[in-house]
Amino acid sequence: MKTFGIIAEYNPFHNGHKHHIEQVRAAGATHIVAVMSGNYVQRGDVALIDKFRRAEIAVANGVDLVLELPVPYSLASAELFARAGIMMIGALGCVDGLSFGCENPSLEMLKTAADASAKASAPEKIRPLLEQGISYPQAVQEIIGLEAGPLIADVFDDPNNILAVEYIKAIDYLSLGIEILPIKRSGTYHDSDDTVENFASASKIRQMIEDGDDISEFVPEETLAAVKEYEENETLCYFDNLERELLCLLRKSVPQQLAMLPDVGQGLENRLFEAGKAAVSLDEFLEFVKTKRYTMSRIRRILLSLYIGAISSDLMMPPSFGRILAFNDRGVEIIKASREKNAEQKNRLAIPFSSDIKELFETPIPAAKRFLQLITVSSDLYSLAARNIARSGTDFTAKIGKLTTVEVPTPPDPQSPPNIEVTQGGKLPQE
């Protein structure tokens, strides 16, 4: 049994994602677990399709177990997003490696970039640049260019490379000692407007969906079916549909409240407050606040944190549970192996994993209850981003059961545990 982890958003799941999974299988993985953002994603947006359906699509296309990366981690900076995802991978205790897609698949160069980034992030180096109005990512990249050279600095030109570097830094920080497998992205760059053969970026596909264009060439049939169904039911979710809700919250907020939001500091709360009073549209608000220092994605993440009720202190706590969104029989094997490994090794990162949200609410960890409340409330608010609003309580009513296992060419590991059937109601078996 060789298990690899992937940290993803699948917004939506496309052919590039499927190619990545196939490459991980080809590298010897018998089992794959994905830690996936829920209904809110790191670019500062709502997911087009809800987390449960995206997780099912991932399992239908080669992933064996999908765990939810809870808000507010999914709305955090690249560093905190990556660290929380790696912590959840480490919490399983049975994951042998991590794979990610990136533009530069040279592990040596990525490790060099990770070391340079860790050194460049020292407060005494970065503070003078921030005071000049440069954004944090730009400041880090500028220092790296001076200290490690332009080739290493160029690694940070692509968002996927930035996440790759942060994954490596988090693995080192946590001393996990797992294998790292970079896979070169197929066809197009992140956020590219181009298409190559049957590959297109997630942002290009989302734009095509919004424009009513045919996406069948670029996504598997399960994604295509979901998009058609959600279009017909008018349940696709878009950030812009939250305009009135967000403007309402901004007009009700005071600087002291805004200062408590993640990634707000150095007077940004005053800028948010003034823009919230003056703006008559979301676009106008974003333009009022955006500067070289404050990127659009950062401002959008701050807005969504305000929307769901997350505050900066939430990000000081590590993940305290793992919500299972979808799985197949190999996914059950991963959870069983996790329980056995953690019991043997006394894994310091170990947390409870379950598909039952009510069961997780019984976890005797105060931080777990706080995050579970954020997850359930944010899910109730999520569907307000669609034209047709769903009923609340979806985290409690969603039916999560074992899905059909996808056949893969990798021969079964004779040491792997036998298949285990799920109990009634879709729960994983208990020890």
What distances in angstroms separate CA 207 from CA 197, 299, 316, one per listed residue? Answer: 18, 21, 35
Q: Is the pLDDT of residue 416 over 50?
A: no
Instruction: Give just the sign of the alpha carbon dihedral 355, 357, 360, 362.
Output: negative
Q: What is the CATH number of domain 3-103+182-237+320-397?
A: 3.40.50
Q: And the tokens for 128?
A: 């003078």
* Nearest alpha carbon to residue 47 among 326, 383, 400: 383
Quick one: pLDDT at residue 125? 83
For residue 402, give every residue at least 6 positions away whose Cβ sits within 8 Å of its Cβ, in sequence order, or none.
Answer: 327, 328, 329, 331, 332, 421, 422, 426
Q: Could you count the other beta carbons within 10 Å of the beta carbon of residue 26?
A: 12
State the helix-helix crossing angle for 78-92 and 329-345, rounded to 10 degrees: 80
Q: Three-state DSSP class for 223?
A: helix
User: How many whole angstroms from its chain centre is CA 358?
Assistant: 23
CATH 3.40.50 region(s) of the chain? Answer: 3-103+182-237+320-397
Mean pLDDT of 74-99: 96
Task: Check whether 424 has a pLDDT greater than 70.
Answer: no
What are 405's two structure tokens? 């296992």
Check residue 133 and give its pLDDT: 78
Q: Is the backbone peptide bond immediately before 12 cis, with ω within 30 degrees of 0?
A: yes
Residue 293: what pLDDT? 84
Q: Given this model, what pLDDT does residue 139 score?
A: 87
pLDDT at 419: 31
pTM: 0.90
% of the chain with per-residue pLDDT over 70? 92
- Taking each helix axis from N to C terminus, what angle separates 296-308 and 282-289, rounded to the nearest 10 degrees? 120
Torsion angle of the four alpha carbons 310, 312, 318, 322, in this order, in degrees rounded to the nearest 10: 10
The model's pLDDT over 153-212, given as tens digits with 9 standing for 90+, comes to 888 888 889 999 999 999 999 999 999 999 987 655 555 567 788 999 999 999 999 999
